[in-house]
Amino acid sequence: MNDFTAGWWQAALHRPSPNCDAWPAGAQLDMLIIHAISLPPQEFGGPFIDALFRNQLRVADHPALCGLAGLRVSAHFFIERGGRVVQFVPLTARAWHAGVSTFGGRPACNDRALGIELEGADTCPFTSAQYDALVTLSESLRARYPRITLSRIVGHSDVALGRKTDPGPCFDWVMFRARLCGAR
């Protein structure tokens, strides 16, 4: 089944971000990096994440946004608390999500990884709807990119040790990986 058209997942809402560029020559996608984000911190459902990823964030709209002025970031996908998947960057482009990162002794994870952001915070459990959407999306991506094995689906904290903590201790890796194994 072809779930993708020109790099866009057909099941997602498409909100193109300018914060992407070409994959490096010869790039072989072999990782999924799971992130968590909330703007303002620990607040959900507002317009700020979409605005951040699309360079439309007005930092004057909330005091917690001041440190984000000029920040240029994105992810391939964002999963809202209710389970809706939004795609910001097509699979044909590199998203800017992992920053300074290393995995398996190789730096620059953005050069080979797809980024999935979950609306959440380190101190807050994720929703069943988010896990359902994440499993469905991850399986679609793994079918398209067979180099993405279970051991290569990692958290932002795994590739940016000491710098990032997401998706945090409330993310249920055991349940998520068990559901992925059961899906095949």
Give 88-123 pLDDT, tens digit per residue: 999 999 999 999 999 999 999 999 999 999 999 999
| Res. 2 pLDDT band, cuts 50 70 90 | low
- Calpha distance 87→65 (Å, rounded): 22
First to last CA, the chain: 15
Percentage of residues in the chain having pLDDT higher than 70: 98
Question: Which residues are known catalytic residues?
Answer: 117
**Domain range annotation of the chain:** 11-183
Which residue in this structure is represented by tokens 């317009």? 47
Q: Which residues pair with 37 in a beta bridge?
A: 119
Residue 166's nearest CA partner among 52, 68, 37, 59 is: 37
pLDDT classification of 71: cutoffs 50, 70, 90: very high
Q: Residue 95's pLDDT is what?
A: 98
Q: Does pTM surpass 0.85?
A: yes
Whether 86 and 80 have beta carbons less than 8 Å apart is answered as: yes
d(CA 182, CA 142): 14
Q: At residue 39, what are phi and psi to the nearest 5 degrees?
A: -140, 125
Whole-number average pLDDT of the chain = 96
Separation of alpha carbons 116 and 148, rounded Å = 14
pLDDT at 184: 53
What fold, for 11-183? Answer: Lysozyme-like (3.40.80)
pLDDT band at 166 (very low <50, low <70, confident <90, very high): very high
For 139, half-sphere exposure in the C-beta direction (CA atoms, 13 angstrom radius) is: 16
- pLDDT given for residue 181 in this prediction: 84
106: three-class secondary structure by DSSP: strand
Confidence of residue 182 (pLDDT cuts 50, 70, 90): confident
Give the DSSP H or E segment for 4: strand 4-5
pLDDT at 28 over 90: yes
